[in-house]
Amino acid sequence: MRGETMVEIDATKCTTREINAEIRRQISENVREITVRHPGAKHNLGVALLQAVLLRIAGSVGYYCGALNDGATVEVEGSAGWGLAESMLSGMVRVRGDVGSGAAAALRGGTVVIHGDAAARLGASIKGGQVVVLGDCGHMAAFLGQQGTLVVCGDTGPAFADSMYATVCYVGGKIASLGTDAAVAPMDEGDVEKLERIFEYVPGPSTKSHPPASAFQKVVSERKLWNFEQREWRVWREAL
Amino acid sequence: MAALKSSGVFSQEVIRQIQTKAATGLYEIRGFGTLRERRWATFDDLTFLPCSLTRIPLEGYREKCSTRTVLGTRFAKRPVQLDIPIMITGMSWGALSYNAKVALAKGAAEVGSSNTTGDGGMLSAERKNSRTLIYEVLPSRYGINIHHMRMADAIELTIGQGAKPGTGGLLLGSKVSDEIAKQRELPIGVDQRSPARHPDFLGPDDMIIKVEELREATDWEVPIFIKMGATRVYDDVKLAAKAGADVIVVDGMEGGTGASPSIFQEHTGIPTLAAVCEARQALQDIGLYGEVQLIIAGGIRDGVDAAKSIALGADACYIGTAALIGLNCNRPIYEEDYRALGAAPGACHHCHTGRCPVGIATQDADLMQRLDIDEAAERTRNLLHVMTLEIQMIARSCGKSDVHHLEPEDLVALTIEASATSGLPLAGTRRVFGR
């Protein structure tokens, strides 16, 4: 195996521990492209990859795939469970199907691309990086978002962008409802250019296409609840 | 003429609170922990039964009494090994100054103990000065970094905190300095509110998967702690054990905080004495007592509190507020600065303001300089050392060659309430009340 740059791992009868240990072993032997076949929707595949490798997963995965990643590219051909790419520092995680709740939660850097739909709390506590969902997203996406960019090409669920700090969101479809302290802001040329740059991360065949960048709505924090000494009681009553 | 008398219902303090709410439209946020007079059963309501004729004591200065403490023997390849059973709890860089964090790390390392990162990520200087560092994974995930996680000696998945269970952390804008804002990826000066629950799992069923994720991220090398505020302890401990925790941390209502609404500190959670008893019972009932280690936190003040916790089932104790008091919190120095806060030495709970007169709970560079790292580390070391000696003294007097041999039979209750809470017989009787 030593010296090969691409390998395949058949995960049919393997545990998560065995699969991840084999991935790490291959990386330690300088393999830079790994394909996991028959993943069986197992949880925690490709967690904490710290090298610039390409991990392809030929099927669907469970919770936390690509979580705590720093530098790797993880491609999931199927769908993913909860916590996809959570707490990632850098790298890229792409899912061709749909994803469960909490995708890209606490993301600090890198790019997450979801070709299908995302469930609730997409990008909760996002701290950096960028997230692109070609489909729709569920309840409370970008909740408590701190920094970073979140793009939803389809429709959002309720309470979108609730209680954010400085995350910037873009929505190509309908917003079911805005969350506390969120507001639609005018799009400018910089936003359009930013979106077009982000869409360069969405190459290849996709089941869904995105609207033109100029058709998106921008959502930011209104900053009314950033500080507790806000003494306007109506603001708090409305918010809470 | 009748003597002037204030109301027992609407006391002067209650009147002040009502009028403050009416004037400002704000609820009170403060630090420190509960200020209530303790009328519930506490460790003070228990007493040890040292040896007389039925048991033989050990010589105080001649016979060894081990304090070695091992945590995380269930699944981790590399359990935490400490020289003493007292550890420094998680307090963030942000809530505390850089100098305080580094001093606690240095002091704990000198006596073979541990410190914990807190809700703000890891400081490099903290890692450098620690012997054993526990890395907290909280709902907010501020500063979360896989490289730091892999440098840690244990991972603590925090579900809640004793001073404010069921709610997230707070760091008021006065402490969100340039450095802290950068570390936490927040706008400078914002009042930071942490989420109350983790974004990527809901309950014990999927927490099992979260625990597995943390193990995979650290190659199953280090123990996984699960920390919770003390509420429904009996059930929560069983669920945490089922989720795969190596170590469970239960933080009682007397625990401290850098900032939270005061109503949480005063009216939520159960006392630490009740918590340790419920936690032990839970682990015994599922056959995991001894296999899953138990750390107790929440208002532990001295070696006696710690010894009582250990006798009741804890493997170790966390200290937080006591450690800060050891650093100089509430010490009568810089008294004019206490007064400027509306506080006084011995009655300061103004950690939330960021204007800590003694340089502990602040990000102000001038205030922080009042806490000399080396001197503060020495005080931390001394405090942990003396607390350990106190536990040893108690253990030897009870005939134990290892502090972990202390057991419930070494204690009795001094009040009926303490008997009912702890399951210990009332002193002078053979009766356990409420059973």
Could you tell me the pTM of the whole model?
A: 0.96
Distance, in Å, from the CA atom of B49 to the CA atom of B398, rounded to the nearest integer, reads 7
Closest B-chain CA to A146: B186
Contact A228 B29 (CB under 8 A): yes
Return all residues near B12 (Cβ < 8 A) that are at least 6 apart. Answer: B6
Do the Cβ atoms of B187 and A102 come within 8 Å? no
CB atoms inside a 10 Å sphere around CB B369 = 11
A119 CB near a chain B CB, below 8 Å? no
Disruptive mutation site among B200, B205, B215 for chain A (greatest number of A CBs within 10 Å)? B200
The answer to whether the Cβ–Cβ distance between B216 and A17 falls below 8 Å is: yes
Is B184 in the A-facing interface, judged by CB distances under 8 Å? yes
For A100, which residue in chain B has the nearest alpha carbon?
B200
Q: Which of B146, B199, B206 sits opposite A89 (nearest CB)?
A: B146
Contact A22, A9 (CB under 8 A): yes
**pLDDT attached to residue A1:** 42
| Residue of chain B minimizing CA distance to A224 | B190
Cβ of B199 within 8 Å of Cβ of A227? The answer is: no
Over residues B390-414, the pLDDT tens digits come to 999 999 999 999 999 999 999 999 9
What does the domain layout of chain B look like in residue ranges? Answer: 65-328+371-409
Per DSSP, which regions of B283-380 are E strands? 293-297, 316-319
Contact assignment for A82 to B173 by CB distance below 8 Å: no
Test the A interface: residue of B158, B216, B262 with most A CBs within 10 Å: B216
Task: Please report the pLDDT score of residue B127 as a whole number.
Answer: 98
Of B204, B425, B406, nearest in space to B308 by CA: B406
Residues of A in contact with B141 (CB under 8 A): 86-87, 105-106, 125, 127
Least confident of B13-27, B84-98, B363-377: B13-27
Q: Give the count of Cβ contacts less than 8 A between chain A and B.
A: 124
Contact status, residue A162 vs residue A181, Cβ threshold 8 Å: yes
pLDDT in tens, A148-185: 999 999 999 999 999 999 999 999 999 999 999 999 99
Binned average pLDDT, 10 residues per bin, chain A of 240 residues: 76 96 96 97 98 98 98 98 98 97 98 97 98 97 98 97 97 97 96 93 67 94 84 71
Percent of chain B scoring above 90 in pLDDT: 95
Q: Residue B340: which H helix or E strand, with range? A: helix B335-340
| Pick from B25, B29, B201: CB nearest A231 | B25
Q: Is A77 on the interface with B (CB under 8 A)?
A: no
Decide if A17 and B184 are in contact by the 8 Å CB cutoff.
no
Distance separating alpha carbons of residues A171 and B412, to the nearest angstrom:
64
Which stretch of B14-23, B54-63, B350-359, B424-433 has the lowest confidence by average pLDDT? Answer: B54-63
Task: Report d(CA A198, CA B168) in Å as an integer.
Answer: 33
Q: Most B CBs within 10 Å: which of A146, A224, A229, as the mutation test of the B interface?
A: A146
Residues of A in contact with B206 (CB under 8 A): 63, 82
What local confidence, expressed as pLDDT, does residue A234 receive?
75
pLDDT digits (tens, 9 = 90+) for A7-16: 999 999 999 9
Cβ-contact A128, A108 below 8 angstroms: yes
Torsional sign, CA B284, B287, B288, B291:
positive
According to DSSP, the residues that pair with A55 across neighbouring strands are A34, A74
* Cβ-based neighbour number of residue B165 at 10 Å: 23
Tokens encoding B411? 């204690």
**Interface contact A64-B200, CB threshold 8 A:** yes
Interface check for A127 against chain B (CB to CB < 8 A): the answer is: yes
Token pair for residue A83? 């916590």
Rounded Cα distance, B223 and B220, in Å: 8
Q: Look at the block and give the residue holding tokens 């949880």.
A: A43
Smallest CA–CA distance, residue B196 to chain A, in Å, is: 11
So what's the pLDDT on residue A230? 64
Give contacts of B 154-183 with A, CB under 8 A. 172-173
Contacts of A143 in chain B (CB under 8 A): 195, 199
Strands A54-58 and A70-76: parallel
Q: Do B200 and A147 touch (CB under 8 A)?
A: no
What is residue A11's predicted lDDT score, i.e. its pLDDT? 96
Tell me, which fold does domain B65-328+371-409 have in CATH? TIM Barrel (3.20.20)
CA distance B76 to B221: 5
Q: Which among B142, B146, B186 has the least Cβ separation from residue A68?
A: B146
**d(C-alpha B31, C-alpha B356), whole Å:** 11
Q: Do the chains contact at B199 and A86, CB–CB below 8 Å?
A: yes
Determine the straight-line distance between the first and last CA of chain B, rounded to whole angstroms: 51
A125 vs B140: CB contact, 8 Å cut-off? yes
User: How large is the average pLDDT for residues B185-207?
Assistant: 94
B149 CB neighbours in chain A (<8 A) are 68
**C-beta atoms of B213 and A226 within 8 A:** no
Torsion of CA B307, B308, B309, B314, to 10 degrees: 70
Burial B183-204 (b: 16+ CB within 10 A, else e): bbbbbebbbbbbbebbbbbeeb
Compare CB distances from B213 to A67, A165, A236 and report the shortest one's residue. Answer: A67
Flag whether residue A66 sits within 8 Å of chain B, measured between CB atoms: no
ipTM over 0.90: yes
